[in-house]
Structure 1
């Protein structure tokens, strides 16, 4: 399945909340879990997990009519400072934390993400409610 983590290593990442989105989608596939339908074209390929992660985030940005520069600006409104060029780099490489998808969802809800995280909790954490 291509999930190189030991059980202990995976547990540690999850407890710390320090896992990448590519790891999250690996786990979904390894567990044969359902995932948002719009992610299927990116997960049902032989592409690397990082490539799939990058394509999924790009899809979600496009679905929200948002580019990387706008995303970086919206993050700065949440007091998350990241240069658009840095954001572009980590997204292109698929090397971004799962929390970045949650941050996107706080102002541009990701369809069916509520299977994993309640949208209300995302908004409360982001200070929207």
Structure 2
């Protein structure tokens, strides 16, 4: 399926570029860093993902890792629980969701129970709970409340502009 640029993928791409710029790394350097850490990524695959902004949250976390960038402190507890990148992604999403949901984690559990059918059985919920969702989806969550962990990579005003349709998908 061809990639369709959206304001959300533009923001994801921008966040990845921020990491590369902050660490002064070229795409070849990043691909080599991925391979040294045991990930199967070529320069072409890294370039395609970063340029399109169509990558999973787990890839973004791996990018931070291989570039030796500092992980947002808000997410460190999620890494303490597991070394599986997809499980960490799911934990981060649920943690961020709980931070903006009345009642916190208990509120999220209650809402999930109330919406058991569509949420528990849908493809989107499987992506969220399995940690295979796009990084753009995590950015979308920041529309509901500030997400300090993303402030290192994106301006909140740009997240709101994407939500309101005011951010050009080629930016």
Query: Is TM more than 0.5 here?
Result: yes
Which of these residues, 125, 129, 142, is aligned with residue 92 of structure 1?
A: 129
Q: Does the alignment pair 1:22 with 2:63? A: no
In structure 2, how many angstroms separate the alpha carbons of the residues matched to 1:61 and 1:54?
10
Which of these residues, 54, 59, 72, is aligned with residue 36 of structure 1?
A: 72
**Structure 1 or 2: more helix by fraction:** 2
Equivalent residues, number: 118
Gaps of at least 5 residues in structure 2 are 1-36, 102-106, 113-117, 167-171
Which of these residues, 117, 126, 141, is aligned with residue 104 of structure 1?
A: 141
Does structure 2 retain, via aligned residues, the 8 Å contact 1:3–1:27?
no
Gaps of at least 5 residues in structure 1 are 72-82
- 2:46 corresponds to: 10
Does structure 2 retain, via aligned residues, the 8 Å contact 1:50–1:95?
yes
> SS at 1:32's partner residue?
coil
- Could you say if the C-alpha distance between residues 18 and 63 of structure 1 is closer, same or farther in structure 2, counting changes exceeding 3 Å? same
Give the CA RMSD over aligned residues.
2.5
Q: Does the alignment pair 1:54 with 2:90? A: yes
Which structure is larger by alpha-carbon Rg, 1 or 2? 2
TM-score (norm 2): 0.61
